[in-house]
C-alpha cells in the first residue's frame, strides 16, 4: 500500500460565479488492486463517486467498463476510509 501524506489538494474553484479556495490536509492511502479482488462495497462506492460527479452515468455501462479493466487504484482517506 502506498501512503500519500501531507497537503493533498489546494486549488481555486469558481462556484456560482464566486471564486473559492480550498486547502485540504489529509492522509490518503492508495492501493493498486486487481479488479477481480475488489470488494462489492468498493465497486458500489466507485459507482456512487462517478455518478455524483458526472451526468448520465449508467450502472450497466459502469460495470461493463470495470469488467474490461485489469487493475484499479483505490484512494481512500485514512480517517474515513
The DSSP annotation for 31-53 comes to EEEEGGG--HHHHHHHHHHHHHH
Give all strands (DSSP E) within the chain, no chain letters: 2-4, 7-15, 18-25, 28-34, 71-77
Question: How far, in Å, CA of 45 to CA of 55, rounded?
Answer: 16
Share of the chain above pLDDT 90, in %: 51
Question: How far, in Å, CA of 7 to CA of 28, rounded?
Answer: 10
The confidence score (pLDDT) of residue 8 equals 47
Share of the chain above pLDDT 70, in %: 68
The confidence score (pLDDT) of residue 3 equals 42
What is the tally of structural domains in the chain?
1
**Residue 67 domain boundaries:** 2-77
Write out pLDDT tens, residues 20-50.
665 666 677 888 999 999 999 999 999 999 9
Amino acid at each position: 500500500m502506498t501512503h500519500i501524506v501531507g497537503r493533498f489538494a489546494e486549488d481555486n474553484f469558481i462556484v456560482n460565479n464566486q471564486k473559492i479556495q480550498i486547502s485540504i490536509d489529509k492522509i490518503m492511502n492508495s492501493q493498486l488492486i486487481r479488479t477481480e479482488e475488489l470488494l462489492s462495497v468498493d465497486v458500489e462506492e466507485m459507482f456512487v463517486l462517478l455518478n455524483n460527479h458526472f451526468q448520465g452515468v449508467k450502472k450497466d455501462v459502469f460495470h461493463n467498463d470495470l469488467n474490461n479493466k485489469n487493475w484499479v487504484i483505490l484512494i481512500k482517506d485514512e480517517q474515513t476510509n
